[in-house]
Structure 1
Amino acid sequence: MDPSVPALLIKVGHYPLHHGAVGVVRTLGRLGVPVHVIAEGRLTSAALSRHRSGRTVWPTTGAEPAERLVRGLREIASSLSGRAVAVATDDEAAILLAEHADALSEHLILPPVPRDLPRLLASKHEMFRLCRRYDIPAPESRLVTSRDQIDEIVREFVFPVVIKNSEPWVRLAAPAVNRSTVVGTPEELRELATGWPAAPYALVQEYLPRPESTDWIAHVCCDGQGDVVAAFTGVKVRSWPPHVGVTTYAYSVDNPELAALTARLCKESGYSGIADLDWRLDHRDGRYKLLDFNPRVGAQFRLFETEAGIDVVRAHYLTLTGQAVPPGRQVEGRRIIVENLDVPARIAYRREAVREYRIPEGGRREFAWLAADDPLPGLVTAVRSARPMMRRVVTRILGGRSQHG
């Protein structure tokens, strides 16, 4: 491949310890691509990678006015040597790039995704509506924009239910919940709703019981026609926080049915670029149901690779620079471990029976942070995450003891 075109790692949320960003820098930098990093500070994980070619310290939260963010991105991108391939690592960045492509494409190479599509897909409510339009299975969902709707929700849904912030931008300014939350009874929902803002933009979603379901993930890269040029599927075993957070342990399993379902959604919606989808196989009816569509690179994307050494970020780079993506099958049995997060996740899951598929043989372990040729990101992450992670573990252990007497 020709690695001469630079790449710009773009995130506008505040995530100083982001293993997905480190993965992007490593996977492109190891091929000789000049990777420039936008970071919250000089000591963030991606900024310290030896594989990055440059860095710009630009602390943002994602809540800034779009005009300010676009102006800052233009200034950063214009300082690079030629137009750069843009790689978004959070929803806010993906939405910003799509909605302001006209202003940014002078300096950035962007996928030709429809302007409004990333915002629709990142919205839990709008994603559900798109699933209904394209006949994609998804848990039944309802948008709540007023506390007055609670009685209707109680009548319509069987409890427990899941409560989510419907829009990624609202979760920053006025979140209804800190993260996806399982609510067991109507009384718990009413109590939770008392703390909501007047217009909460919360999503009430059908609960799919964990003992009767399996979590799957799909990562894809699509070209300008919405056709998949790289597709991967795998099983999510653990996450942190448990069941609602980032993947901490997963393994790759080829799943043609799920890959075809993912490809159909991308094609019919006209999606272009990298995407990370969370699915849940409901064993009660045998259907894969879409929980989340993230219109950007997923943090655990290095779990997946083809026999030709292609992951979704490399496929994205090749596609946007007009180079062919080498054909190759998904490598079976690869595993990813997010070292700092999987320790508390193991503790949290220790009482649960997790339904697992047989891990195919031949795959290697991929660590999110540890790398012999790039040690600094892992060292900094270990130091910065040790104390807060220990607090979370102790809190969860003590909380579990109190619940069990």
Structure 2
Amino acid sequence: MDKLDFIPIILGSDSNAYGMARSFYEEYQVSSIALGKGQLPPTQNSNIISVEVYKDLDKPDVFQNTLIQKAKELKSKADKLILIASSDNYAELIIRNKEVLEQYYIVPFVSEELMDQLIYKENFYEVCEKYNIDYPKTLICTPEDKDNIEPSFEFPVVIKASDSLSYAVCNFKGKKKAYIVNDKEEFRDVIDKIYLSGYNGNLIIQEYIPGDDSEMRVLNCYSGKDQKVKMMCLGRVLLEDCTPLLVGNYVGIINEYNQHIYNKYKAFLEEIGFEGFANFDMKYDRRDGKYKLFEMNLRQGRSSYFVTGSGYNLARYLVEDRVYNKEQEIVFADNEHLWLSVSKGLLLKYLNDKSLQSEVKKLIKQNKYCSTLDYKEDFNMKRFIKNLSYNYEYYKRFKRYYEKKY
């Protein structure tokens, strides 16, 4: 068997991992290897991605040793190995071990120093101030001032953990990824519950930006090893997951072109010296006409297959840059396309904006739509049945949890 130019090594086994594996396969007909603590349904029974399970993979010593050993095993099969993260946790582990891992892998991620400025939300909002990035009015709650803190802006307010990795291991009744609270009593109750669960990090308290899910925007970018942006693709969110622990994950996106946003974030990424994939979540504030940034991820977004599906293959920008060392002119995505991870019927049922409903129907009629997990080249009955079950589960979730936003 001929030696491959490269093999993608993807950390994680969720739909993000599958989307990246699909991107690599569509462009280069190369299958991916995923390493994870378990195997989640999106990557099961697949011919384009194989999953190897290491239960303690998220422990730093196990992580480094496992990746080094895997690289040695694959040395004879490919000239290069590319590391991809499908979650914040894996992205952080890669970056913390970047110096060692670069001896074995292509590691398209930022430095540890830059990461620490970007992943902790209180640090990140300082960066936003420095580079004139708009964000919601924000207050930091430390464990020391949790009993006395009060918001300096009007209710409703949003409460979320600054250290999402530490928060992920805390368990308590009523836990959510983010909370929208409407009065002081609810405000106090949420803060108490979070800290009683064992969480010891800071909390971010922000003003609530009015509007439903369709006011959200998601921007995915790739920056080359020369720290120049190569691709930017903006999406308008149609609908978010309403499951308490999955709030903020998108289930419907339509591509949107906005050169002002592209220019602003291109300048930001290049000024800070960014490398690799970046994902930005922001919301349009109709009160002042600005897009307020909530979060930045140092990896492609969970819903990032919408980029590949609309004609801008994520894997291509990475491989042409890092494997084949080709020069690339920046691409500002402007194709019209629909991405969804729930059924078309569910999306249309809970999409409130009539003009967006019409746009969705038009794109479906024109066959300009896709779903990450619905891939004909990877079809088999086991995957088909799992996808049916997945879609049915979402009907139940929306019936139970959905609340209209204003």
TM bucket (normalised to shorter chain) is 0.7 to 0.9
| 1:246-285 correspondence to structure 2 within 5 Å | 246-285=249-288
Partner in structure 2 of residue 179 of structure 1 = 177
Q: Which moved more, 1:27-36 or 1:236-245?
A: 236-245
Q: 2:375 aligns with which of 365, 368, 371?
A: 371
5+ residue gaps in structure 2? none
Q: Relative to structure 1, is the Cα distance of residues 148 and 373 closer, same or farther in structure 2, using a 3 angstrom cutoff? A: same
Distance, in Å, in 2 between the alignment partners of 1:180 and 1:49 is: 33
1:73 equivalent to 2:81? Answer no
CA RMSD of aligned residues (A): 3.2
CA distances 1:253-287 after superposition (whole Å, capped 9, x unpaired): 11111111221221122211011111112121111
Distance, in Å, in 2 between the alignment partners of 1:115 and 1:77 is: 22
One-letter amino acid matched to 1:276: N
Deviation of 1:158 after TM superposition, in Å, equals 1.5
Q: Which moved more, 1:108-117 or 1:42-51?
A: 42-51
1:99 equivalent to 2:96? Answer yes
1:382 equivalent to 2:387? Answer yes
When the two structures are superposed, what TM-score results if normalisation uses the length of structure 2?
0.83
Deviation of 1:122 after TM superposition, in Å, equals 2.8
Distance, in Å, in 2 between the alignment partners of 1:252 and 1:210 is: 19
Q: Relative to structure 1, is the Cα distance of residues 20 and 329 closer, same or farther in structure 2, using a 3 angstrom cutoff? A: same
SS of 2:150's equivalent in the other structure is helix
Deviation of 1:208 after TM superposition, in Å, equals 0.4
Distance, in Å, in 1 between the alignment partners of 2:346 and 2:39 is: 28
Q: Is the 8 A contact 2:15 2:302 kept in 1?
A: yes
| 1:233-252 correspondence to structure 2 within 5 Å | 233-241=234-242, 244-252=247-255
Q: Is the 8 A contact 2:252 2:342 kept in 1?
A: no
1:136 equivalent to 2:147? Answer no
Partner in structure 1 of residue 51 of structure 2 = 55
Q: Is the 8 A contact 1:219 1:298 kept in 2?
A: yes
| 1:188-199 correspondence to structure 2 within 5 Å | 188-197=186-195, 199=200
Deviation of 1:42 after TM superposition, in Å, equals 5.8
Distance, in Å, in 2 between the alignment partners of 1:234 and 1:290 is: 14
1:87 equivalent to 2:89? Answer no
Q: Is the 8 A contact 2:213 2:237 kept in 1?
A: no
Q: Percent identity?
A: 18
Distance, in Å, in 1 between the alignment partners of 2:155 and 2:10 is: 41
Q: Relative to structure 1, is the Cα distance of residues 100 and 137 closer, same or farther in structure 2, using a 3 angstrom cutoff? A: same
Deviation of 1:330 after TM superposition, in Å, equals 2.4
Q: Is the 8 A contact 2:7 2:80 kept in 1?
A: yes
Partner in structure 2 of residue 163 of structure 1 = 159
Deviation of 1:247 after TM superposition, in Å, equals 0.9
Q: Which moved more, 1:198-207 or 1:257-266?
A: 198-207
SS of 1:117's equivalent in the other structure is helix
Q: Is the 8 A contact 2:9 2:34 kept in 1?
A: yes
Distance, in Å, in 2 between the alignment partners of 1:125 and 1:379 is: 43
Partner in structure 1 of residue 322 of structure 2 = 320
When the two structures are superposed, what TM-score results if normalisation uses the length of structure 1?
0.84
Partner in structure 2 of residue 215 of structure 1 = 216
Q: 1:301 aligns with which of 283, 299, 304?
A: 304
Distance, in Å, in 1 between the alignment partners of 2:98 and 2:163 is: 21
Distance, in Å, in 1 between the alignment partners of 2:320 and 2:117 is: 26
Q: Relative to structure 1, is the Cα distance of residues 223 and 205 closer, same or farther in structure 2, using a 3 angstrom cutoff? A: same
SS of 2:336's equivalent in the other structure is coil
One-letter amino acid matched to 2:188: R
- What is the aligned length? 385
Q: Is the 8 A contact 1:240 1:345 kept in 2?
A: no
Partner in structure 2 of residue 403 of structure 1 = none
SS of 2:5's equivalent in the other structure is coil
Partner in structure 2 of residue 115 of structure 1 = 112
One-letter amino acid matched to 1:244: V
Distance, in Å, in 1 between the alignment partners of 2:374 and 2:305 is: 13
Distance, in Å, in 1 between the alignment partners of 2:124 and 2:270 is: 15
One-letter amino acid matched to 1:245: G
